[in-house]
Chains A and B, each alone.
Chain A
Amino acid sequence: KNEVEQSPQNLTAQEEEFITINCSYSVGISALHWLQQHPGGGIVSLFMLSSGKKKHGRLIATINIQEKHSSLHITASHPRDSAVYICAVLDSNYQLIWGAGTKLIIKP
């Protein structure tokens, strides 16, 4: 079993839909990252969480430490949001453990 699991693996939605991507982990963590990987391969850091909730524009990230679960939400999705979204956790040994990613396609 992977230490960081994301769901769904693939998601296709229509423009304006509310999107949720989930991340569950099984190790003790000091922080959790949500990152976005563009079709060209580059990775952008979206959020770093250790508790609670963060919001940036149309993106919202939440984390529940007790349940070892985090969600990334996108409101009013747009085709430019199409990308791979990656959950990565920094464990207590400061090792960065990457999830497999969720491939999101937003259709106009």
Chain B
Amino acid sequence: DARVTQTPRHKVTEMGQEVTMRCQPILGHNTVFWYRQTMMQGLELLAYFRNRAPLDDSGMPKDRFSAEMPDATLATLKIQPSEPRDSAVYFCASGLIVDGGVSLTDTQYFGPGTRLTVL
């Protein structure tokens, strides 16, 4: 059955290293969301793409984070350089948005998440 996949599931790295997280959205979905969940901030929306174009990345620290969709089957979230405060679970979600703009209440299919620990 169709599902969103994320790799890696767990990542432990040292401060200063580059981290790349990957997401494969459900085939046919045109919108991809990146979320970060931490104990302090809860679930935060970092960025989302529609038809591979970034629509909103205002939730993402621009100096070290970057999100891309090289093609319709792959979304990436990179952190360079990583810092301990980046430790969190990063979720990717995808959806099929057919009407106008994107509402965050539209149906989103969540991946299992990537648990990142930056030492």
Q: A-side interface residues toward B, CB under 8 Å?
A: 30-31, 33, 35, 38, 40-45, 48, 50, 90, 93-96
Contacts and interface: CB of A to CB of B under 8 A. Distances in A.
Contacts of B110: 35, 43, 45
Contacts of B89: 90, 94, 96
B25 interface: no
B112 interface: yes
Given A42-B95, A48-B37, A96-B89, A31 B109 contact: no
A63 B48 CA distance: 30
Interface of B: 37, 39, 42-43, 88-89, 93, 95, 105-110, 112-113, 115
Contacts of B109: 41-43
B38 to A, nearest CB: 9
Nearest to A35: B110
Contact of A44 (B37, B43, B108, B113): B108
A96 B113 contact: yes
B107 A30 contact: no
A48 B42 CA distance: 7
B105 A44 contact: yes
Contacts of B112: 96
Contact of A45 (B39, B43, B113, B115): B43
A30 B88 CA distance: 12
A31 B37 contact: yes
Given A94-B89, A94-B115, A50 B39 contact: yes
B107 A43 contact: yes
A38 B58 CA distance: 28
Contact of B42 (A31, A38, A93): A31
B37 A90 contact: yes
